[in-house]
């Protein structure tokens, strides 16, 4: 009888783990000239984001604007890229390093973005300020 209970518990635990990974979505961002489309994307915790049409682009997080406890990433130039599952809630600001001077950046909002006040406190300027405003607008 205990063996049966243990087996049932193990199967239920495994099904919960599998169902959460099955429910995760992958969202697509495309580069169009010197811009990301969409520029701001809202996703659920555990989802991933992929970028395509990356011939002359890199996607890199901006460490100064990452949510606490989140890890950043940087793609290789010219390669499509997919994030690991984004599990830390917050706003992830990213840029195309070669085209940042042209304002090429974006924001991924994961769940409830708890770090937008922290971003505001850094007094972002230029393209970072524009991304912050777009992120705030997306939250309304």
Q: What CATH number has the domain bearing residue 46?
A: 2.60.40.420
| 33 occurs within a structural domain | yes
pLDDT in tens, 29-81: 999 999 999 999 999 999 999 999 999 999 999 999 999 999 999 999 999 99
| The pLDDT value given to residue 124 | 94
Number of structural domains found in the chain: 1
Residue 13 lies in a domain: no
Report pLDDT digits (tens) over 95-111: 999 999 999 999 999 99
Domain enclosing residue 44, as ranges: 24-138
Q: Does 71 sit behind a cis peptide bond, omega within 30 degrees of 0 on the bond before it?
A: no
Burial track 77-87 (b if 16+ CB lie within 10 A, e otherwise): eeeebebeebe
Handedness of CA 102, 41, 25, 65 (dihedral sign): positive
pTM across the whole model:
0.83
pLDDT higher than threshold 60 for residue 17: no
């Amino acid at each position: 009888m205990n063996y049966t209970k243990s087996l049932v518990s193990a199967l239920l635990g495994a099904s919960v783990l599998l169902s959460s990974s099955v429910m995760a979505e992958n969202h697509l961002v495309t580069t169009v000239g010197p811009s990301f489309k969409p520029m701001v994307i809202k996703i659920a915790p555990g989802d991933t984001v992929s970028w395509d049409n990356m011939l002359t682009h890199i996607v890199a997080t901006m460490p100064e604007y990452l949510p606490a406890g989140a890890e950043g990433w940087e793609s290789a130039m010219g390669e499509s890229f997919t994030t690991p599952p984004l599990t830390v809630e917050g706003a992830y600001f990213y840029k195309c390093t070669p085209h940042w001077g042209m304002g090429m950046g974006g924001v991924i909002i994961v769940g409830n973005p708890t770090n937008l006040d922290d971003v505001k406190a850094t007094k972002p300027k230029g393209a970072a300020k524009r991304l912050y405003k777009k992120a705030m607008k997306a939250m309304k």
